[in-house]
Structure 1
Amino acid sequence: MPEGHTLHRLAGELTEAYAGHAPSVTSPQGRFAEGAALLDGHLVERGSAWGKLLFLHFAGERVLYVHLGLIGTFVLSPVEGQSDPPVTGVVRLRLLDDRTVADLRGPMACEALTPEEAEALVARQGPDPLRVESDPDEAWAKIHASRRTIAELLMDQTVLAGVGNIYRCEVLWRLRIKPSLPGERIKAATWQAIWDDLSELMPWGVRTGRIITRDEVLQDVADALAAGEDLRTVDVPRDFSVYQRNGEPCLRCGSHVRHKVVAGRNMFWCGNCQRRS
């Protein structure tokens, strides 16, 4: 499932493509035909995201809500002179103007909402490290009162919005935190360290479109940008410290990386150096 940085990046792409324009909104598949009719031809104001929830705000108090789920994709492409680009595959929603076509396939949710309905969805989410107005204390209150493990809590979108499995595994490793530690035993300073690390790492995901969690990779990308390289040409390797490295040596201590299913997803950690409580 896409993590929060993907949705924030999509929100920015949709804003850039359609803000100030009134694209046609259709449902080639037909399952969103009624909702598409409510949005068709209305001026787009902006895209936004909260955690893994994506919104496109239209004039006239209309909001498109999308949750990509496990298999959903939302792909934007230049029209390139075609007034009506052919539909490929099963497209739930299509946005189209004379410059850009955006096709949504396989989402878990695709709905036309009122602003109040969209706000109610957001209100059920935890704070989002990619939103400057988010308050980490809201998540801390739930974590500190819970007997569930920190590995479980980080995946609960009502506790913390936007964090998925890769960020969960990597941040806990970076901070040497034991994944099985109950939330009620997490110290306030430890929670603040988790929030600060996510707040630093996730914007790089928005900027590059890739999850970056290793400091040396972050430095290489920052150096390339400082040297004036185009971000689109910068090589960002898919290289993690523990994620999907079951049985391999820990990059910090050499002990074998372990694996267990936690909250329905594969958790990877080092049992030797992740002992912080």
Structure 2
Amino acid sequence: MPEGHTLHRLARLHQRQYAGVPVEVTSPQGKFTDASAVDGQVLVKAEAYGKHLFHHYDSAGSVHVHLGLYGTFTEAKLPVLPPVGQVRMRLVGGTHWTDLRGPTRCELLTPDQVDAIKARLGPDPLRRDAKPEQAFERISSSRTSLAALLMDQSVVAGVGNVYRAELLFRHGIAPMLPGRSLDAVRWKEMWADLVTLMRHGVRVGRIDTVADEHLPHVMGRAPREDRHGGEVYVYRRTGQPCLVCGTPVAHKELAGRNLYWCPVCQPE
């Protein structure tokens, strides 16, 4: 599932390519039945909150997109080509067009419905209005593991499996540490690090978490080959040596998701 940096990257792209002018909105697949309600309307703003993307229109409401596990946008310059595959929504602007396929949600919402979605989300590290103390309030009062809390979108919005694993490693925290055992100073450090990592992800379009001294050309190792891209410490590196101490990276399932950590660098 795409993590928060991907949605913010898409929001910036759509803001740049489509905002401020009337756009053509259709549903070649036919499943986005409200496409006609926004077709020809001015796209006022595209914004992301966590893993949610919103296209706000002049007077017709907002299109809400959640990509889920399989959703993707494909972007291209005009002219428009015939649809390929199951296109849920097609957006055509002045110079570009984009197709949305396979999302979990693609729906037209009222302002109140948009506010309701945002209200149930935790602070988003990529938003200027984020309040990290709200997340800490939830974390510090919970016996649930930090690994689970960081994946809870009502605690922190936009963090997925990669950022979860890498953030805990970078701060030497055992994944199963109860939230209430984390102190405020350490959370402040983790939040600042998360903001930095995710902003980098928006800029480059991938997740990089390793320090300069652990990059492939410095360590004399092969670059990581993975469809997620980027250089990471533990994510999807089960059994491989930790880049810091050499211990095999551990793995287990937690709440149906894969969890990765170094038993030595992240002691119980």
The whole-number CA distance in structure 2 between the counterparts of 1:273 and 1:214 is: 14
What is the distance in 1 between the residues matched to 2:213 and 2:63?
A: 36
- Quick one: percent identity of the two aligned structures? 48
Q: Which residue of 2 aligns with 1:78?
A: 77
Question: Which residue identity does 1:135 align to in structure 2?
Answer: K
In the other structure, the counterpart of 1:179 is 175
**8 Å contact 2:138–2:155 — kept in the other structure?**
yes
Counterpart contact for 1:61–1:115, Cα < 8 Å: no
The aligned amino acid for 1:266 is N
- Aligned partners of 1:238 and 1:27: how far apart in 2? 34
Structure 1 position 274 matched with structure 2 position 261: no
Structure 2 counterpart of 1:15: 15
Please say if residues 18 and 94 of structure 2, whose CA atoms lie closer than 8 Å, have aligned partners that are also in contact.
no
**Deviations 1:93-146, CA, capped at 9 Å, x for gaps:** 001134211100000000111122111101100000001111001111111111
Q: Does 1:248 align with 2:248?
A: no
Cα offset for 1:219?
A: 9.4
Q: Is the 8 A contact 1:155 1:263 kept in 2?
A: no
Per the TM alignment, residue 217 of structure 1 is displaced from its structure 2 partner at its CA by 8.6
Structure-2 residue corresponding to 1:131: 127
**Counterpart residue number, 1:258:** 250
Q: Once the 2 structures are TM-superposed, how far is the Cα of residue 218 of structure 1 from its aligned partner?
A: 11
* Secondary structure, aligned partner of 1:181: coil
Q: In structure 2, the residue corresponding to 1:92 is in which secondary structure?
A: strand
- Structure 1 residues 148-177: Cα deviation after superposition (integer angstroms, max 9, x where no partner): 100000000001000000011111101100
TM norm structure 2: 0.92
For residue 205 of structure 1, the aligned residue among 196, 201, 204 is 201
One-letter identity of the residue aligned with 1:13: L
Which residue is equivalent to 2:105? 109
Change in CA separation of 1:209 and 1:46 when aligned onto 2, cut-off 3 Å: same
Residues 29 and 92 in structure 1, CA contact (< 8 A), matched pair in contact too: yes
Paired residue secondary structure (2:169): helix
Deviations 1:208-227 (A, max 9, x none): 1111111229999xxxxxxx
Q: Which residue of 2 aligns with 1:47?
A: 46
Task: Give the match for residue 223 of structure 2.
Answer: none
2:67 corresponds in structure 1 to 68
Letter in 2 for 1:267: L
* Bigger Cα displacement from structure 2, 260-269 vs 99-108: 260-269
* Structure-2 change in CA distance of 1:98 and 1:188 (3 Å): closer
- Counterpart of 1:13 in 2: which secondary structure? helix
Aligned to 2:151, what secondary structure does the other structure show?
A: coil
Mind listing any 5+ residue stretches in structure 2 that lack a counterpart?
217-227
**Higher mean Cα deviation, 95-104 or 194-203?**
95-104
- Length, aligned pairs only: 257
Q: 5+ unaligned residues in a row in structure 1: which ranges?
A: 221-235
Find the aligned partners of 2:265 and 2:95 in 1 and give their Cα distance.
52
Q: Which of 122, 136, 141 in structure 2 is aligned with 1:140? A: 136
Cα distance, 1:24 vs. partner?
Answer: 0.8
Q: TM-score, normalised by structure 1?
A: 0.89
CA offsets, 1:246-274, max 9 Å, x none?
Answer: 11111111111100112321111011111
Partner letter of residue 264 of structure 1? Answer: G
Moved over 2 A (4+): 217-220
Aligned partners of 1:67 and 1:108 also within 8 Å: yes
Show the counterpart of 2:6. Answer: 6
My pick for the range that moved more, 9-18 or 112-121, is 112-121
Aligned residue type for 1:63: S
